A and B are shown apart, each in its own frame.
Chain A
Amino acid sequence: MQSSLDSSLPPKPPSLVARFGNFVDRTFQYWTVAPLVIVLLLLVAYPTLQLLRMSVSEVDIVKGEVVWEVVGLKHLETALQDQLVPIALQNTLVFVVAVVVIETFLALVISILVSRSKHLDGLYRTVLLIPLLVPPIAIGTMWRLMYDYNYGFINQALKLIGIVAVPTWTANPQLAMPSVVLVDLWHWTSFMFLIILAGLESMPQEVNEAARVDGASEFQVLRFITLPLLRPTLITAIMLRTIFAFKVFDEIFLLTGGGPGTATEVISLYIYEVFSGQFRLGYASFLALGLSVIISVFVIFYRRLGRRAA
């Protein structure tokens, strides 16, 4: 009787301690990752916020103190009037398109050949990876010496085969950008090769074999099976390469310094000049932020393509 009376009463609310215990139980996964999130926020979000703050400020060092002055959109106005910004952006876009397209094509061809090679494939992989292991500063210096008009290996070799009017490479406004692109192809094709080869080797071979059994030619296997299956890998590789290409600096810095004239002046090089040479921290931050925004647009585009491919 007593028990039936008790059961008709509304349930007794849990104690404060029990409620707190339940809350902790429910949210335990968040508490455990919280320290990591806090550290990541400090390492990523704080510098990004500093960049944002600097891009709307004039920053100077006076008597060892960093002095901030908020200037709003003044740097945007400066960038719009800066005659070098459109040139640098145009050169950067030309460079990015050239290297991404050519490197993707070359890496794809090489990866397919290596993946199908039955002999010495280990050697090919090793040799093809070497350029990626060389520090960019060494690559720039090495190619600068090779391109040297008077004493460079390339012109000496051309003279040996009877070409007297040898090119001036990095000193010729028409040849400077192709010369830089060539160095970049030598350096970065290995990176694309590595990713595409990994994608090819992780693909199920049964599908290809079934197609061949059904009478598909090698080209048809490549066109209708290999490439569609490889699409997500290709998009990831192209996205990464685009990001790196937008940020190209060391090779151009060492090879041409942006010249001759403004033929190879790219945006990263200009940001370096504004930041380190002219010490205009605010304006350099604004340009860096602008570059990040442009890269983000490309990343979003590639991610949408990637989702569609998936």
Chain B
Amino acid sequence: MNKTTKHKRLTLHWGLSILLFVSFSLAACGPAVTATSVPTEPPSVVTEDQFPNPTEEPQVTTPTEEPQPLPPITILINESPWLAGFEALVNKYVEETGNQVTLNRTPFPGMLEKSRNAVQAPESEFDILTLNEQWYMQFYADGLVTPIKEIDPNFELDPQVIEYEWATRWDPELGYSSENGEIYGLPINGNIMLFFYRKDLFEAKGLAAPQTWADVEAAAEALQDAPNMYGYVIRTNPPNWEFQGFLAGYGGKLITLDEKTGEWEVTINQEAGQKALATWLKLGTTYGPPNYADIGQPDMASLMMAGNAAQFVLVGASASDFDNAEKSFVVGNVGATVLPGEMAGSNATMSGIWVLGVPHNLPDERKQAALSFLNWALTKDAQLFYAQAGAIPVRQDVYEEMSSDPTRGWWMKAMADSTPFIHAQPRLAETPQIIEVVDRRLKQAVAGEITAEQALAEAAKEIHKILTDAGYKVKPLAE
């Protein structure tokens, strides 16, 4: 009897243990619940709430005489002011071709993580990644997006498509974007800096659109009437991009590559850097609002729309807001031009574009479908439609044609005129580290923690160390 009881207990104990273990293991290893569903009524742009499974075989049911639609594609796209224009463009593509497109709309902070996760998966969930100026070089350098000629060996980029100082290319031998590099990404949003100014106030004071930074300072002096009107507003949160525009206008760069020797030189602390920082700080601290140490892009746009800012540098994409009667007191009174330089003709603007790339980890038919969309999206007709839908095109002929547009012509012309002066921030895998240094040192200088000279000297030392530690050939730092 005792033996039987013991045996039963033993069986019960083991049974319970195994049951518990199996339950936990199943719970831990079970598939995650997803909220995806397959849309049933193509053609239409599908939003993130209705994801189809990108790896699923397409259900092609079209009659045989019609061209066979390509596999459906999914595009990871940033939620930004130009998204509406991009959606309109995608809708047009779907309408014209019958190919199905899903948009995964993602806020800016999530874009990089989603892109990285996609390229690490056995097969990417996205067919096209929208990559920002700050990080596409990492995707190029690490081979995480496919060279376009690998998808279509006959691919030739239309010369009217602006390459934004070779943002599209990567030269593995040089380890840098260059004219001789292979095309990895295609531009989709041509954001560059423009110089915005209050046309009405300039006319009232008899001032012409500024050509040099000295003109800007003279205008700031003439228009300063704080707190009602700030003569000039600088962007300090974050400051690096705008400062690089000033720096390029003085003929300088953060770092310079000697393409013959492959040797880098840190140049931020040289004469051009010193002049650029002095001008930038003077304009911001003398003619800006008292909170000049903490001004971001939305603050600047608000100041202009409220009629409290006379002039500043901002992305071209913000132009349409100034003419929005629901938001702005200055409709029709804002002008745009190319960023001034140290002298007339030494203008410079910075590229802050987005490119589209095809992940490396896709089967060939998905890559072909992705490239088909990219080719279509860069045609002149598509880009004209895109610009009229409120987005920022990437073709020179479109900017030139749009220059006579009654509503957008005033800033589209400035975009067209800026193309020869486009510069890019360094395009290295270490760029985010370099930018962090520049941002921090500029912020310290503008907050008065350190002097302008210290900011440049310290930034140069840190950038030199970053490049040296990463194994680049770097010239000794100039004193």
Contacts and interface: CB of A to CB of B under 8 A. Distances in A.
Contacts of B308: 150
A171 B25 contact: no
Contacts of B289: 149-150
B463 interface: no
A76 to B, nearest CB: 15
B291 A173 contact: no
Interface in A260-279: 260-263, 273, 276-279
Nearest to A78: B469
Interface residues of A, number: 45
Nearest to B139: A61
Contacts of B58: none
A162 interface: no
Interface stretch (A36-44, A113-121, A233-241): A36-44
Contact of B10 (A24, A34, A169): A24
Contacts of B433: 278, 280
**Secondary structure call for the B interface:** helix
A149 B226 CA distance: 13
B291 A171 contact: yes
Interface in B429-468: 432-433, 435-436, 440, 443-444, 446-449, 458, 462
Given A21-B10, A61-B144, A173-B447, A257 B237 contact: yes
B220 to A, nearest CB: 18
Nearest to A149: B291
Contacts of A276: 112-113
Contact of A39 (B28, B237, B436, B462): B28
Interface residues of B, number: 57
B14 A24 contact: yes
A261 B142 contact: no
A273 B443 CA distance: 15
A68 interface: no
A28 B13 CA distance: 7
Given A39-B24, A66-B120, A150-B303, A262 B449 contact: yes
Contacts of A135: none
A256 interface: yes
A21 B28 contact: no
A61 B116 contact: yes
Contacts of B447: 173, 259-261, 263
B360 interface: yes
Contacts of A161: none
State the 4 A-B residue pairs at the shortest beta-carbon distance, nearest first.
A261-B447, A171-B291, A171-B294, A260-B293
Given A63-B143, A173-B448, 12 more contacts: A25-B13, A28-B13, A31-B17, A38-B21, A39-B24, A64-B120, A64-B121, A257-B238, A259-B447, A261-B446, A263-B449, A277-B435
